[in-house]
Amino acid sequence: MKTTDKKTLGERINALLTRTIRFVTYDIWRITENEVSGLKELYINIIKTIILAVRGFQSENLQTKASALTYSTLLSIVPLLAVLLGIAKGFGFQGTVRQELFDYFPGHEAELSKAFEFVESYLAQAQGGVIIGVGLILLFYTVINLISSIEDTFNDIWQIQKSRPWYRKISDYLALFLILPVLMTASSGLSIFLSTLQNSFFSQYFFFTPLVELILNITPYIITILAFTGLYISLPNTKVRFVNGLVAGILSGIAFQFFQFIYISGQIWVSKYNAIYGSFAALPLLLLWLQLSWLICLFGAEISYA
């Protein structure tokens, strides 16, 4: 009797899997707009989008492209930070931008500190006249080449054959680096302003305190979502609908923050890596973080395109 029950349960599971596979591979693509409406139509569209994104991710070999972007990012970290902090220093925002980077990427304090040491040496040499002309050109070229690689990958996802001309790349990318320090400083100023209000004005009105705490807690999520949304809308060399970019930005931003939480919570890995790699333990962890971050970013791009 027990054997019969188990067999029946197995047959039910097998039948359910068969129906599910048939639905996602055949039936769902035969449903027309006239047959569904309301929430059911929304669910169908979400499932279709996810299926198309997964298919595109596999067919376009985006895992390999994420690895290539990881390698390019690793080589470009110091020049990237040098350009960002150099521009921020011109505005007087260098300290604020540095602190914001530490806040945006918790769990990477050691890597950022080491990178900042290289950057400060880089900028000091530039001010001293050691790096001039060709050196500065190579510095900007490295940064522009990294963003151009990201754009090319996005263009492949959107099936765009033609990239921006070089003069557009230079002007658009430099405009981005001019805006970033200002936005990061504004974000820091907003957080400080809300914290000050919470400790002074809102402390007298207890019903406001949970609201302010909620805003402060979700601020990193909002910033990450806006960053991904801006990336998906502005970087491909085509017009991307705002809604598509926003939906993909929300999903990617939440996934990225969740991964950050898992990464920070799993810092026990560091002690295991220290026993094997010694002082180089930060490198494999940084590579893992970069790889998974690019996978999240590119899958979000597939969702935006789908």
Position 298 scores a pLDDT of 92
Averaged over 126-155, what is the pLDDT? 74
Tens-digit pLDDT profile for residues 98-121: 777 777 777 677 777 877 787 777
Cα(73)–Cα(204) distance, integer angstroms: 47
Position 197 scores a pLDDT of 61
Q: Which residues contact 263 (CB under 8 A, 6 or more apart)?
A: 107, 289
Sign, Cα dihedral of 68, 69, 70, 72: positive
Position 200 scores a pLDDT of 61
Residue with the two structure tokens 């990617």: 252
Tens-digit pLDDT profile for residues 268-292: 565 565 566 555 666 777 788 889 9
- DSSP-derived letter for residue 165 is P
- DSSP-derived letter for residue 238 is S
Cα(150)–Cα(79) distance, integer angstroms: 16
Contact call for residues 268 and 200 (beta carbons, < 8 A): no
Contact call for residues 142 and 79 (beta carbons, < 8 A): yes
**What's the pTM?**
0.76
Contact call for residues 248 and 49 (beta carbons, < 8 A): no
Tens-digit pLDDT profile for residues 192-244: 666 666 666 555 655 566 766 777 778 778 888 888 898 899 888 888 888 88
Of the pLDDT bands very low, low, confident and very high (cuts 50, 70, 90), residue 133 is low
Is the pLDDT confidence value at 1 over 50?
no
Tens-digit pLDDT profile for residues 43-92: 777 777 788 788 878 878 888 888 889 888 888 887 778 777 777 777 77
Of the pLDDT bands very low, low, confident and very high (cuts 50, 70, 90), residue 295 is very high
HSE-up of residue 268 (Cα within 13 Å, Cβ side):
3
Return the C-alpha torsion angle 177, 179, 181, 186, nearest 10. -160
More confident residue, 267 or 148: 148
The mean of the pLDDT values for the chain is 76
